[in-house]
Chains A and B, each alone.
Chain A
Amino acid sequence: MKVGAGRLVTGVLAELADARALAEAAQRADLVQRLDEAVGRLRADDATVAVVGEFKQGKSTLVNALVRTDICPVDSDIVTAVPTILRYGRPPQAFLQVPQEDGGLASVPVGFEELPRHIAEGDKAGVRAVEVRLDRRLLGAGLSIIDTPGVGGLDSAQGNLTLGALALAGAALFVTDSAQELTAPEVEFLRRAMERCPRAFCVLTKTDLYPEWRRMVEINQGHLQRAGLDVPIVAVSSFLRMRAQARDDTALNDESGFPKLVELLRRDVLGAAAENKLVAARAELRFVVAQLRERVDAEQVVAAAPEAAPEVVRRYAEKSKRSAWLAGGSWQTVLGDGIQDLSADVEHDLRERLRIMVRRGEDLLGESDPRETWRDFQAWAQREAAAAAVDNLMLLVTRTEQLAHDVAERFGLEYDSLDVDLPAPELALRKVDELDVSFQKSGLQQFLGAFTAARVTYGGFYMLGAVGTFFSFAFAAPLGLLAGMTLGRRMIKSERERQVQQRRLQAKAELRRYVDDVGFHVGRDCREATRRTQRFLRDEFSARAQAVERSAASTAAAVREIAELPPEQRRERAGVLAEQRRRLDRLAA
């Protein structure tokens, strides 16, 4: 399969190169640049697979065994605290992702010997993620792997953060060990994970330790089926894989179950990613070919019937003029209005979520003495805040996706309305019209090309930050010494009640401060993301509008030129055009 995908990529690359030559011949530097960027994207390796699951299920060991390394620290007690991203790179290098003042992340190089400490402690030192570049075949094939901290329950703050990161991953490996069947929280987590990342696989680890692992596969299959989740299960033993590697023992490697997992990653994850990239590259190719063909079409018509030239020139001059409006066309209004609606809605959504959270938090505090329940309350609040942030971001992603479609649709309508009817029906090649029809149909996707809402929204970061922290602060002290001696029993009782009230007020104030804080940070991230989206869409479609305008202008010029040629040169030119036309048709097919 990998080979097949590779051959397809080679084919598309050749087509892109051919289109580039044509664009160059037509002196369209802007189209050449578009094609070069498309080639770059097609070659870029970006299929990310996230390894998720409860802790102590063997996630880090699985990652180590998968890429044959010992980078991810494995211990019977210590757990992974920050996400570790493994991708291809030579020589091997490691970086820490550290948040900066301005909210961005900076990569700080770090020695390999210090990695385990950072991965296990992580957050305490402010490290957001660890990135490791290794020279391994699987990584070289374009895969990057994220080892995530164990979720510790679906509704923990960490669980929510992991879910948030899944929107960016091409696939998720859900890890559970053979010691026991899937639990209800695990299945629930898997279900929510698949809403964000539909390509998921369940990896059953530690098969070397449990003789009954085959039954566990069956039981889990039953559970998943009943839950309506279509998730294939792969059973592996990381221990055997490591041992097989140490001894260079192929049979043992087969016994470990890893070849099947690697095959799955290559075929279903890398293959699917390659497919998406191919679709995007083809869309780009079509856009460019459409631009180039316009001119060839018109030239061909005029070459066959020079008397039509003035009319064709007039039409294209007209089109060129109208194309100039396209740059500031109504798609701009759609984009502007859409962005405003989107940011208002997303902001309102966040405010609403946080408002409900504050209200529920205050109810909780009202029922108890904060001094007793403060720690649990903090955990609750962080969980809720993480869930609110992640859901809010997800809304942003869906809305961005929708907006991009709306803009593309409007752009497509205006683009189509620019179409020029060519005269001289008796000479134009009739069959071409059929091809034209297929162009219109895929119009939308043609304009969206490589756009991925999640990627633009997340701005390339894999992990959300931790959702802030509470101040650790002392509650009003218990009754003091003097009060204890001078106040009567009843007074003490009422004093105690007063103090509980005071603590509640204090706790509520802290809750509000915390929620404000979360609201500020999440809100800022969302505004950033919205701005990124707006800029991206504006630049993208402006560039296309300009390309269209240039096409019309250059067509008009070319038509004028060819009309003025002496007859035999025109015939010669017609031959060249026919050849170009054939090449373009082949590319468009």
Chain B
Amino acid sequence: MSLLDQVRVLLDQAIAFDRDQRLIEARRRVDEPLRVAIAGKVKAGKSTLLNALVGEELAPTDAGECTRIVTWYADGRTYAVTAYLNDGTAEQRPFTRRGGAIEISLGRPAEDVEHLEVRVPSSRLRQHTLIDTPGIASLSTDVSLRTMAFLEAEGERAAQTDAVIYLLRHMHGSDVRFLESFHGDGLSSGTPVNAVGVLSRADEIGGCRLDAMEAAGRVATRYASDERLRRLCPVVVPVAGLLGAAGATLREEEYRILAAIAAEPMDQVVELLLTADRFAASGAQRARVLQRLGLFGVRLSIRLIREKSVTDSAALAKALTDHSGIDRLREVFAAQFVGRSEVLKARSALAVLDECLPPGSPLAADAERIRASAHEFVELRLLHQLRSGRLPGTDEQLAEMDLLLGGAGGAAYSRLGLPSDAAGGRIAAAAQEALVRWQNIAEHPFSPRELKTAARAAARSCEGILVQNQQG
């Protein structure tokens, strides 16, 4: 019986015992897509990134602070908006779409709305629901507080999300504090595996020059090796959200405008692209293109067209998407969240059970048993220990263990550090080899005790890969 099945059974038993609304909610949530929140400081580019991830202009964006209510974007048959109010009721709300962005007429003060749910027919939302949140560190304090209240697993209350994409522009004290609070169930049991860091607005680093993305890559690498941040979110991906969103929704007409500029004499183009002001002033259409692509996007597109690297809008859209880093984020997303959605969901459900069940009851003991015995949880705990630098061992040992425990993704090849097209035989051989190695470490009399425990778990993961490999 899989981990999630065990949790389902347990939840059903608990509901039969006590029809607590929270349990019913948790039971429903087990069968729903994974909930991933997009969080970050005000104007970090959360809505833009959401649009880029879905590949559609959904969340309204603006130069000023824009998102003021927590908004869920979930898969649905048709577009629909539901407002969940603070008094517990829900109602359908009318909405209009302007340039794609969904504008909702609330019909009441924003304070009364607990959250909004937007249903969107999109395959990209099938495996996970994305949640757009108002920025923290906002000057409208109530807006910041909402996000904190929503994401924090405060005290006994379990968090409403399973995972978080955290947008950093530059690392600040308030970012670190936020991430800490997201692991609110105490650093000892919290895990860094349900958070991915995004270095957002990467195209603007270093003054929108054409090497901006490389510079962003360097910054992201440095952040990922920062000990404090690493413990909270081990992966940091540089993403230019605006580029990603534009790449997904580029229009033929926009390509024509850009191509026309690219055809002008070089020195004129340089003068035009010197500042955003000049470019915007050269025509209303161009101003709109600038708004959609950003200065870096415009500069990049024009260079690509001039160099004849792209010759039509489809190619340009692809190039913009490539540069945006959004694909890499999707990969990380798939490895860190989607591949782990079972264990993340189980974890959330168990947190609700802890909250509702009286301690010491047989059901609570069952929940504890699942938590203690499920190998997936063991892996999560070990990963956390390892990443917070509390496991003894050489650097190579630790790096290998990080992979084996699923640190870079749950698939067999990524656990073994093999290319994604590795054949079954090669995987089996590598897993066998790793199994022997880790068993030796586990049994070696001079290994530190904590390393032994970890090595046993790593060996267990190897066995899991072997079994899976035989079956599949």
Contact = CB atoms under 8 A, between A and B. Distances in A.
B205 interface: yes
A478 B447 CA distance: 13
Contacts of B222: 77
Interface in A204-242: 206-213, 215-216, 219, 223, 226-227, 237, 239-240
A368 interface: yes
Interface in A556-578: none
Contacts of A185: 137, 172, 174
Interface in B310-360: none
Given A207-B277, A209-B295, A212-B63, A375 B41 contact: no
A208 B207 CA distance: 9
Contacts of B215: 76-77
B218 A77 contact: yes
B275 A206 contact: no
A510 interface: no
A208 B277 contact: yes
A126 interface: no
B140 to A, nearest CB: 9
A75 to B, nearest CB: 8
Among B212, B215, B276, the most chain A Cβ lie within 10 Å of the Cβ of B276
A379 B201 CA distance: 28
Which applies to chain A's interface (DSSP): helix, strand, loop or mixed? loop
A180 B43 contact: yes
A156 B291 contact: no
Contacts of A55: 170
Contact of B188 (A237, A372, A376): A372
Contact of A211 (B137, B201, B219, B276): B276
B465 to A, nearest CB: 28
Interface residues on B, range: 35 or more
Nearest to A237: B275
B173 interface: yes
Given A207-B275, A237-B275, A373-B187, A478 B449 contact: yes
A466 interface: no
Interface in A229-259: 237, 239-240, 243, 255
Nearest to A485: B449
A206 B207 contact: yes
B207 A209 contact: yes
A375 B291 contact: no
B137 A184 contact: yes
B65 interface: yes
A208 B275 contact: yes
Interface in B200-244: 201, 204-208, 212, 215-216, 218-219, 222, 227-228
B63 A215 contact: yes
A240 B215 CA distance: 21
A425 B50 CA distance: 91
B446 interface: yes
A183 B275 contact: no
B64 interface: yes
Given A180-B43, A481-B446, A481-B448, A215 B64 contact: yes
A318 interface: no
A215 B63 CA distance: 8
A182 B201 CA distance: 17
Contacts of A20: none
A181 B207 contact: no
Contacts of A180: 42-43
A153 interface: yes
B266 to A, nearest CB: 17
Contacts of B180: 376
B157 interface: no
A376 B137 contact: no
A503 to B, nearest CB: 13
B290 A211 contact: yes
A422 interface: no
Contacts of A182: 139
Contacts of B106: none
Among B169, B170, B219, B227, the most chain A Cβ lie within 10 Å of the Cβ of B170
A375 B228 contact: yes
A106 interface: no
A375 B275 contact: no
B64 A77 contact: no
Contacts of A239: 207, 275
B174 A76 contact: no
B63 A76 contact: no
B276 A208 contact: yes
A484 interface: yes
Interface string B377-389: 0000000000010
A155 interface: yes
A219 B65 CA distance: 9
Contact of B228 (A75, A219, A255, A376): A376
B194 interface: no
A181 B172 contact: no
B104 interface: no
B139 A181 contact: yes
Contact of A372 (B280, B388, B445): B388
Contacts of A227: 139
B141 interface: yes
A75 B207 CA distance: 10
A369 B65 CA distance: 39
Contacts of A356: none
Given A56-B170, A208-B275, A240-B275, A184 B139 contact: yes
Interface in B258-298: 274-277, 279-280, 287, 290-291, 295
A180 B66 CA distance: 11
B256 interface: no
A264 interface: no
A509 interface: no
A216 B42 CA distance: 14
B388 A211 contact: no
Interface in B417-455: 445-446, 448-450
A187 B139 contact: yes
B67 to A, nearest CB: 13
A183 B227 contact: no
Contact of B141 (A184, A379, A481): A184
Contact of B449 (A56, A369, A481): A481
A208 B63 CA distance: 15
A161 B188 CA distance: 33
B280 A223 contact: no
A152 B173 contact: yes
Contacts of B201: 179
Given A183-B138, A207-B277, A376-B180, A371 B449 contact: no
A14 interface: no
A589 to B, nearest CB: 51
Given A76-B207, A76-B212, 4 more contacts: A153-B174, A211-B279, A216-B63, A255-B275
Q: Please provide the 4 A-B residue pairs with the shortest distance between their CB atoms, ordered closest to farther.
A: A153-B173, A76-B206, A180-B43, A212-B63
19 contacts: A54-B170, A76-B207, A77-B215, A152-B171, A179-B43, A184-B138, A184-B139, A185-B137, A207-B275, A207-B277, A210-B295, A211-B290, A211-B291, A211-B295, A213-B276, A369-B188, A376-B228, A379-B228, A484-B449
Interface of A: 54-56, 75-77, 152-153, 155-156, 179-185, 187, 206-213, 215-216, 219, 223, 226-227, 237, 239-240, 243, 255, 368-369, 371-373, 375-376, 379, 478-481, 484
